[in-house]
Chains A and B, each alone.
Chain A
Amino acid sequence: MTTAAAPDGHARGAALAEAALAGDRRALARLLTAVESRTPTAESAIRILHPRAGGAHVIGITGAPGSGKSTLVNALLRELRARGRSVAVIAVDPSSPITGGAILGDRVRMQEHATDDGVFIRSMAARGHAGGLAATTDAAVAVLDAAGFDVVIVETVGTGQSEVEVVATTDTTVVLEAPGMGDEIQAIKAGIMEVADLFVINKADRDGADQVERELEGMKSLAMARDWDPPVLRTVAQQGAGVAELLAQVREHGHWLRGHGGLARKARERARLRFESLLAEASVRRAKALAGPARLEAALQGIADRTLDPYTAVDEILSQA
């Protein structure tokens, strides 16, 4: 993000955006890297691509590790491809907080689509984007949307707040449960009942699916009443069973969104997320630049020495800016 790199980055961003719009997959991939790293390249590309996005149906899939998300994405790809729809997948996996490394293994389950031109699969490590993961993912979705994919699927582990935010900004949020993952359903822990548009009990070939369904229905009856009553479906992702019905419900939810101003609401929610996270970042950057390193250092040291309180320190920095 150095200013020296910026002019290059901006020219490169515009060139990559135009190439991606023209169907160049390598340019698209490089653009996604820029988006992940939040570089000037991404910035100028998004300026071009943002107005072109909005045509794709964005599906979020979340659930505990091992519940079958990637296998289900694979099955969805099969169904969607059979109907001639082009699909992009973003599979987010956690980064190690200690080393920053990550294993991105979701593609393993999607190998039958590995060389299909109508499919584009991209793994993303969550990295340290505290709170910004959803904004970054949403920007990546916008790029794929603008590039012309009919459907964009986002897979993420439903463990933390930022992951929940990721799927909450999709058009249709699918929450996956599976029998044998522990004695209480995972959605309770993660607090994602509120954002689920569809519940799927995967691994319905296993014992315990009835139990999971009872618990889910029980939870739903306690949850806040909503205009859209999220249905509970069953799938055996490995065999593709129940996947056509799932897609039918996704479409149904899409119709409902359109009919109830839901799409506009989702669009505003996404806009808020992107705008506020960018505004926060840009504000911090500008305030720091205006204050300069000496004043920032003095403020830090003052707070550490307790000769200055943190609120006064921030007020002083901002009043100079």
Chain B
Amino acid sequence: MGPMSDRPIKVLIAKPGLDGHDRGAKVLARGLRDEGFEVVYTGLRQTPDMIVTAALQEDVDTVGLSILSGAHMTLLPRICELLRERGLGDVLVTAGGIIPDEDVPRLRDAGVAAVFGPGTTIGEVAAFLRENVRPRDAA
């Protein structure tokens, strides 16, 4: 039997940072819902601790971080680190928003599996998640 074959992938869409726009995050949430994902949405202005606690309580397979505020170089590595500290190192982390190309390698080193630029379609995000979410214990 395939990993969690009868269970939809559960994804947390979170908005770290202080900017007040969540249109993009909501569009992504609805889009992934339409792709068959179970999408937990937590709203604006999430601290790393809030995001990681939600990921833990919801037992999500993956966390998608949407960030526009420019603080990505501190917030995203901090979130990855906190995930590992809390035993959630197997959770796939991706990010989207306004992130300059030159920052991507360092974010990848920090544990962000993919950075989606503004032109990425929801289909592409969904395909990446399906491909890369780690198979979890199916029992």
Enumerate chain A interface residues (CB-CB to B < 8 A): 1-2, 5-6, 8-9, 12, 25-26, 29-30, 32-34, 36-37, 39-41, 95-96, 99-105, 107-108, 111, 114-115, 120-123, 125, 127
Contacts and interface: CB of A to CB of B under 8 A. Distances in A.
B54 A102 contact: no
A123 B49 CA distance: 18
B132 interface: no
A101 B10 CA distance: 9
A108 B41 contact: yes
Contacts of A5: 1, 138-139
Interface string B21-65: 000000001101111111111110011011001101111000000
B1 A114 contact: no
B109 interface: no
14 contacts: A5-B139, A12-B139, A32-B59, A34-B139, A39-B138, A96-B34, A96-B36, A100-B8, A101-B32, A102-B38, A104-B41, A111-B42, A114-B53, A127-B8
Given A41-B139, A115-B50, 18 more contacts: A5-B138, A8-B139, A25-B56, A25-B57, A29-B57, A32-B59, A39-B139, A95-B38, A100-B8, A101-B38, A102-B8, A104-B58, A111-B46, A114-B42, A114-B49, A114-B54, A121-B57, A125-B38
Given A26-B86, A114-B53, A123 B58 contact: yes
Interface residues of B, number: 35
Interface of B: 1, 4, 6-8, 29-30, 32-43, 46-47, 49-50, 53-54, 56-59, 86-88, 137-139
Contacts of A125: 8, 38
Contacts of A103: 29-30, 33, 39, 41
Contact of B40 (A39, A100, A107, A111): A107
A1 to B, nearest CB: 8
A1 B4 CA distance: 10
A38 to B, nearest CB: 9
B87 A26 contact: yes
A121 B55 CA distance: 11
A114 B45 CA distance: 12
Nearest to A41: B139
B43 A2 contact: no
Nearest to A9: B139
A29 B59 contact: yes
A284 to B, nearest CB: 16
Top 6 nearest A-B pairs (CB, nearest first) are A9-B139, A108-B43, A101-B33, A29-B59, A114-B50, A5-B139
Contacts of B42: 107-108, 111, 114
B16 to A, nearest CB: 13
A123 B40 contact: yes
